[in-house]
Amino acid sequence: MKPIKELNPQFLESKENKENLIQYLLGVADNYLILGQRLGELCGHGPNLEPDIAITNISLDLLGQVRSYYQYISQLKGNRTTEDDIAFLRKEREYKNVLLVELPNTDFAYVIARQYFFDVYNLMFLNALQQSADETLRALAFKGIKEASYHERFSGDWLKRLGDGTQESHNKMQQAVNDLWIYTEELFYKTPADQAMIRVGVAPDMDVHKDSYFNKLKDQLTIATLGVPDVPYFQKGGKQGIHSEHMGRILAEMQYMQRTYPGAKW
């Protein structure tokens, strides 16, 4: 697809632009890292073999995608920053993922609700990102969308299977949907860096897709015989670096090896 806008060739010569781009990229990429880590926890713990393999496959895709983004960031940062530094050596407040992806795997219904809420957004996002003014991002979007559509098919199928399944699975699915719904809107939250990148055409303005996102969720929940939560407010914070109590625990586990044995390699 063709970019909506052409990027000024001198764009990256401005320090401010570069920093905004890095912050924007972190806001995108950290979602993949943290969700990938969360899903990875389920390796060997899935409810049965097939979903176990599926979830770890999805985790692998996300971790693979995040590497490309971090490689791009490390290239922008220079100073021999590596993708591992970015993944493993930041402090909690420097991670810019949304709260949704850091929430625990409470039970399989939560895993599916979290995944579906994210996948639907991610597909719309990657679709729009294919028209980014940034060539690297266009390529990553084009690549990522193929994998993301498999993810959405998986989580969407399970949403319906559990919602429209037994009374027990229905109740659990409804509970998960109710609890996670307040975290959906943060996906559309824009930081000042995001806004700057939207202005130059690097980032898509996801506000345009907000209605279709929520309409899609509502439609699919209805098909799954689930009720659509009606909440007066939404929770946010992660994109600004203000995380839930769960984040510290994820980082403790994820960063343990690099912090104990700095520079450790396979």
Partner 1 sequence: MKDISDFILNIIESVMDPEIPVLNVIDLGVIRDVDVVDKHVTIKLTPTYSGCPAMDVIGDDLERAFAAHGYTTQVELIMSPPWTTDWITDRGRRALEEYGIAAPLNETADKDALLNNKKLVKCTNCGSKNTNLVSQFGSTACKAMFQCDDCKEPFDYFKCLK
CB atoms within 10 A of CB 6: 11
Q: Kindly tell me which residue out of 65, 74, 115, 184 binds partner 1, with binding defined by CB under 8 A.
A: 65
Scored b (16 or more CB within 10 A) or e, 124-160 reads bbbbbbbbbbbebbbebbeebbebbeebbebbbebbb
Tell me how far apart the alpha carbons of residues 8 and 16 are, in angstroms, rounded to a whole number.
Answer: 14
Q: Binding to partner 1 by residue 63, rule CB under 8 A?
A: yes
Residue among 36 and 238 whose Cβ is closer to partner 1: 36
CB atoms within 10 A of CB 79: 6
- 129 and 202 Cβ atoms separated by less than 8 Å: no
The least CB distance from residue 211 to partner 1, in Å, is 27
The least CB distance from residue 119 to partner 1, in Å, is 13
Tell me how far apart the alpha carbons of residues 147 and 260 are, in angstroms, rounded to a whole number.
Answer: 34
By CB under 8 A, the residues from 129 to 168 that bind partner 1 are 135-136, 138-140, 142-144, 146-147, 150, 153-154
Q: Kindly tell me which residue out of 64, 165, 229, 237 binds partner 1, with binding defined by CB under 8 A.
A: 64
3-state secondary structure of 42: coil
Instruction: Select from 266, 237, 241 the least CA-distant residue to 251.
Output: 241
Q: Contact letters (x/-) for partner 1, 99-118, by CB under 8 A? A: --------------------
Residue among 77 and 138 whose Cβ is closer to partner 1: 138
Q: Binding to partner 1 by residue 57, rule CB under 8 A?
A: yes
Tell me how far apart the alpha carbons of residues 90 and 96 are, in angstroms, rounded to a whole number.
Answer: 11
Near partner 1 by CB under 8 A, which window of 11-19, 61-69, 195-203, 211-219?
61-69
Tell me how far apart the alpha carbons of residues 36 and 27 are, in angstroms, rounded to a whole number.
Answer: 15
Q: Binding to partner 1 by residue 29, rule CB under 8 A?
A: no
The least CB distance from residue 58 to partner 1, in Å, is 8
Q: Kindly tell me which residue out of 7, 11, 22, 60 binds partner 1, with binding defined by CB under 8 A.
A: 60
**CA-based torsion, 181, 145, 88, 36: positive or negative:** positive
The least CB distance from residue 60 to partner 1, in Å, is 4
Q: Binding to partner 1 by residue 21, rule CB under 8 A?
A: no
Residue among 150 and 256 whose Cβ is closer to partner 1: 150
CA Rg, the chain, in Å?
18
**Which residues here bind partner 1, judged by CB under 8 A?**
49-50, 53-54, 57-58, 60-65, 67-68, 135-136, 138-140, 142-144, 146-147, 150, 153-154
